Chain A
Amino acid sequence: MKKSTALLIFIILVYTFLIGPFLIIFLASFGSEELMTFPPKGFSLKWFHKVFTIVMFRDAFWSSLKIALGSTASALILGAPIAYALVRFKFPGQNFIEVIFSSPAIIPGLVIGFALLRFFVLLTNLPILLGLYIGHTAILLPYTVRVISSSLRNFDISIEEAAVSLGASRLKSFFIVILPSIKTGVVASFILAFITSFNNVPVSLFLTGPGVATLPIQMLVYMEYYFDPTIAALSSILIVFTVFIVQSAEKLIGISKYV
């Protein structure tokens, strides 16, 4: 009894530490004063209204959405064949391929953004949006390769062999036999990759430029100049969305296994 009470209190404290700050940001966004204080004085919804009137946030939101959707789709399209090759075949250089496609997760994002800016974007005068899209695709590849590989490992190869021996091409059997049975993994890697891209700062930091910024970068810029609760209101909106996505993804597919 004593052991479980002590543990219970400990766990409550740990969870308070992990999610308490989110509740505080939520409360702070309803304050009515120009300067951020806590506990907030008064009650007002004006900061939520302000979020939607600031054009740079709206533009940044659309850029972030475009980049996140585009890079997630590309990382799935580029990652799926690698995952399939790694799981399905044994070939020389397999280890190399595996290491190369997991390394964007190991190399610090800041360095990836820095290298891409210096030795590609600046040399080729690449459009900013395209640079962001490429950088994000590179850092998402390890997620898609890893999650799809692990789903493929649980897939019974003989089913695919059956489809092929009945006359389906490999490509066709991938779409009609394999894809439906690994769709949980595909959905999980889509969600993880999308969130990773949408929230990314280190890579975007170097690749944003005049006129084009992602939402997190725009928030950082705003914070340098203003200390009113607008960022708190915007953060609250983002947190509510995240909680909703994470809770449903955990219920439906157990997303925490894939993190």
Chain B
Amino acid sequence: MRQIHQNRTILFLVFIPLIFIVIFFLVPLFFVLIESFYSKAGRFTLIRYINFFMDSRNLFIYLRTLKLGLIVTIFAVILGYPTAYVISNAKAGRRSLLMSVVILPLMTSPVARTYAWLIILGRFGLINQSLKAMNLIKTPLRLIYTENAIIVGLLQLFLPLMILSLVSAMENIPDDLEEAARSLGAGWLKGVLLIIFPLSMDGLILGATLVFTGSITAYVTPAILGGTRVLTLSTLLRQKSLVLMDWEGATIVAVVMVLTTLILYILLRKLRPKLI
């Protein structure tokens, strides 16, 4: 009796939200998937994917997107690790200030944030004007619409995610452990390498997944800092759909993006089931 009552409660709770997400999220996504794998005659086919990757331009853009993601992730680890270490060891008041500043790039309007890089890297921007003032260059360098501009923009956006994941992993490490290592004669570097690094591995893996998947699917940063000159998967998706009206081509780009992201998350779940 109680069981039946409970089942009715659960159904009541879950029903409307489930209907919502099925109609407005799952079904449209499912149709995108179906459309990409079935021919007009309704037969399963991989021909669209083969054609997509046979086009060297598409393949180049796909590999570039992965490359940019990888570079951003590596820099995020290098810059994020020491920062997270300092934050997790800071006193409560300062810690709260440091954290609230770290999350600012995540909370700011992406257009505003990326526009700032346009001012710094632009033709008449901070870097070009400074180099000119120092007589190092005569004509402005082209810094925007390059892969490096996209990397810098993405790093500012996603470094906070790496720092947050690392800080929450490092917080669970008791302070005594590092002190014990030191009192037994280990230097601070050895203490970090032998204690902090292995124990914050989960944070590192989660952070790296978030940064990488975020980087390969971000839109505003490559749109503003790469333009049509340096396309990535996301700006290619927009170009194919909203500019060229090539809906079928856009569908393939969309599914390639989703599958690449999903594979990474599934791998993460297999490797570290606790994390997500």
Tell me which residues across on chain A come within 8 A of B104, comparing CB atoms.
Answer: 18-19, 22, 242-243, 246
Q: Smallest CB–CB gap between A202 and chain B, Å?
A: 5
B47 touches A (CB below 8 Å): no
Closest to B126 in A: A38
Tell me which residues across on chain A come within 8 A of B134, comparing CB atoms.
Answer: none
| Selected contact of A25 from candidates B99, B115, B234, CB within 8 Å | B115
Evaluate contact between A107 and B258: CB separation under 8 angstroms.
Answer: yes
Tell me which residues across on chain B come within 8 A of A116, comparing CB atoms.
Answer: 24-25, 28
Evaluate contact between A239 and B124: CB separation under 8 angstroms.
Answer: no
Closest to B95 in A: A256
Evaluate contact between A18 and B105: CB separation under 8 angstroms.
Answer: yes
B63 touches A (CB below 8 Å): no
Size range of the chain A interface in the assembly: 35 or more
Evaluate contact between B17 and A120: CB separation under 8 angstroms.
Answer: no
Interface CB pairs A-B, < 8 A, 7: A21-B116, A24-B126, A37-B125, A38-B122, A38-B126, A216-B109, A236-B112
Evaluate contact between B106 and A235: CB separation under 8 angstroms.
Answer: no
Q: Smallest CB–CB gap between A144 and chain B, Å?
A: 10
Q: How far is the CA of A242 from the CA of B238 in the complex (A)?
A: 28
Tell me which residues across on chain A come within 8 A of B28, comparing CB atoms.
Answer: 115-116, 118-120
Evaluate contact between B32 and A141: CB separation under 8 angstroms.
Answer: no
Q: How far is the CA of A81 from the CA of B16 in the complex (A)?
A: 9
Tell me which residues across on chain A come within 8 A of B20, comparing CB atoms.
Answer: 78, 137-138
With A238-B109, A242-B108 already in contact, 4 other A-B pairs whose C-beta atoms are closer than 8 Å? A17-B79, A37-B129, A101-B17, A118-B251
B26 touches A (CB below 8 Å): yes
Evaluate contact between B25 and A138: CB separation under 8 angstroms.
Answer: yes
Give the residues from 109 to 137 in chain A that come closer than 8 angstroms, CB to CB, to chain B. 109-112, 114-116, 118-120, 134-135, 137
Closest to A249 in B: B100
Tell me which residues across on chain A come within 8 A of B276, comparing CB atoms.
Answer: 102
A84 touches B (CB below 8 Å): yes
Closest to A17 in B: B156
Of the candidate stretches A3-11, A150-158, A179-187, the one touching chain B is: A3-11
A106 touches B (CB below 8 Å): yes
Evaluate contact between B119 and A25: CB separation under 8 angstroms.
Answer: yes
Q: Beyond A235-B109, A246-B100, is A89–B6 a contact (Cβ under 8 Å)?
A: yes
Evaluate contact between B111 and A36: CB separation under 8 angstroms.
Answer: no
Evaluate contact between B29 and A89: CB separation under 8 angstroms.
Answer: no
Q: How far is the CA of A125 from the CA of B56 in the complex (A)?
A: 37
